[in-house]
Chains A and B, each alone.
Chain A
Amino acid sequence: MSDYPRNNLDLPFITTEQTGTEEFIVNMGPQHPSTHGVCRLMLKMDGEVIVDVIPIVGYLHRALEKIAENRTYLQFIPYTDRIDYVSAMLCNHGFCMAVEKLAQIEVPQRAEYIRVIMDELNRIASHLIWLGTFSLDLGAITPFLYCFREREMILDLIEMTCGQRMTFNYMRVGGVSRDLPKEFIPKAREFVKYFKPRVDEYEAILTQNPLFLGRTKGVGILDQKTAIDYSVTGPNLRASGLRWDLRKEEPYSVYNKFEFDIPTGTKSDTWDRYIVRIQEMRQANRIVEQALESIPEGEIKAKTKPVFKPPKGEAYARVESTRGEMGFYIVSEGETIPHRVKLRTASFSNLAALPEMVRGALIADLVVIFASLDVIMPDVDR
């Protein structure tokens, strides 16, 4: 063994010119387990280091905006479920709010409370999916099972109310489609109480886990200035230290009646994006708890005409979706169908900032950074 060449370069069939590094292109996706949907990334690599990345999107483009121009306002509500199917309630809410703004419809208080409860339950469910798949990408399977256990309970609560588990089609222009069933409030209270210690459980596995810290601390930094330049919103922006949440700063629905905090990060790295979402689950739980205590009796839907025609004009409504600002811009010509509906989705802008975060990172970190952004592909492609 002693005369075995230690340095490969001494091997007669490999010369120094052949072992030098050069940049090469790697194709990742569109069907890759860590892209959470159908996203293709073209990577320019130097060894294991990423020089540049180009996200290629559009595989799930269903032209929802074109469909909207060919449906009546009420017919489009089920389509909003398909924009971001993980948090469909918030999409419902945003679209209904935009139409209500346009037609100046006053929503009854009870309906607003129901909307907030559903939004926040859906937010928890969405963050749970994120946390589960994020830890799965890191190689931790246990949190995934925990998260789906709790998500199941939320889906049961929502199913009890609207009969659906994924694409809810629950909200209507002027309110919601049906009232909460009798057993909902006690069950939901039970869930809120049950869920509080569960977040500690996730944190116990991940937050101070040395392996987790090693993979996330200081990885994928997106500083505040770049985030704003790319119009990154939601938890990703809050992780870079900016306290901005539409629920607090421009309260819509009845969010101004509840007490909750806006968690922010300091280092704007992957770990901060993780902890911000963990804290957000606690805050969402807090909002649900307060809303369940103070929900008033009364009407659940404002009266609208059978043939619904909002007046001529344009309006833009925005909600704080689980992924950031979700905006609905509607242009009405005073007919039963909208002239134009623009869907401003958070994932679209958030994904555009990906190249800024992964330059110089390792390819293994790309998977983590991509997961920490929490983009969902139908939300990008619409």
Chain B
Amino acid sequence: MTKEKIIKAFQDRFPGKMEEFPFVGLDVALKVDEELILEVCRFARETQELSFDLLTCMTCIDYLDHMELVYDLFSFNLRHRMVIKTSLPRDGEIESATQVWKAANWHEREIAELFGITFKNHPDPRPILLPDDWDEGFPMRKDWEGKDFVRLPKK
């Protein structure tokens, strides 16, 4: 599907809630409110003319005053891509996308552990990468201070 059609499909279903943002080398990049994320994901996956069946990657970005979650989607049937973004407070809670794509399971566990975001209705919210006895907070946060961690000065 063309860029305009995908964006229109989203804007018709969620009027005034989907906002475009620039992304190098990608046509469709939309930002959405955090409460709507599960509905938007379901819509992206289950609508015939969108059918985004592959969640390639899911990640989080820390901006100190808020966090941004990024969902990178692809459709094998229709061969188109898009990125969905949502922003939430730093200790925020959000619906788990595992209900839509199973691939989100491990990605969300990683994000929860490294960034400190809680995913509601996650089937298996155990930590995944850090040691069992880890008690030094959320290391991927921008303001994290570790014992031997020295930050490179910004230029």
Contact = CB atoms under 8 A, between A and B. Distances in A.
B41 interface: no
A229 B129 contact: no
Given A329-B57, A344-B56, A102 B24 contact: yes
Contact of B26 (A61, A229, A316): A316
A381 B103 CA distance: 16
B130 interface: yes
Contact of B25 (A58, A228, A315, A382): A315
B128 A339 contact: no
B16 interface: no
Q: How large is the interface on A (under 10, 10 to 19, 20 to 34, 35 or more residues)?
A: 35 or more
B36 interface: no
B1 interface: no
A18 B57 CA distance: 49
A229 B57 contact: no
A349 B106 contact: yes
Contacts of B147: none
Contacts of B72: 316, 327, 329, 344
A204 interface: no
Given A61-B129, A313-B22, A344-B57, A230 B102 contact: yes
A318 B70 CA distance: 16
Interface stretch (A7-15, A43-51, A63-71): A63-71
A228 B100 CA distance: 12
Nearest to A242: B76
A233 to B, nearest CB: 8
B106 A352 contact: yes
B10 interface: no
B61 A230 contact: no
A349 B101 CA distance: 12
A288 interface: no
Interface in A294-320: 307, 313-318
Nearest to A331: B61
A342 B24 contact: no
B53 interface: yes
B58 to A, nearest CB: 9
A327 B56 CA distance: 9
Nearest to A317: B25
Nearest to A243: B76
A112 to B, nearest CB: 17
A352 B140 contact: no
A339 B61 contact: yes
A101 B76 contact: no
Interface string A63-96: 1011001110000000000000000000000000
A203 B152 CA distance: 52
A66 B140 contact: yes
A142 B146 CA distance: 49
Contacts of A70: 151-152
Q: Which 9 A-B pairs have the closest CB atoms?
A: A231-B103, A315-B24, A344-B57, A58-B129, A342-B59, A61-B129, A352-B106, A229-B102, A340-B61
Interface of B: 22-26, 53-57, 59, 61-62, 70, 72, 76, 79, 83, 101-103, 105-106, 128-131, 139-140, 142, 151-152, 154-155
28 contacts: A57-B129, A58-B130, A61-B130, A63-B139, A66-B139, A66-B140, A70-B151, A71-B152, A102-B24, A229-B102, A231-B101, A307-B155, A313-B22, A315-B23, A316-B72, A317-B25, A325-B56, A327-B72, A329-B72, A335-B154, A336-B154, A340-B62, A342-B57, A344-B56, A344-B57, A349-B103, A352-B102, A352-B103
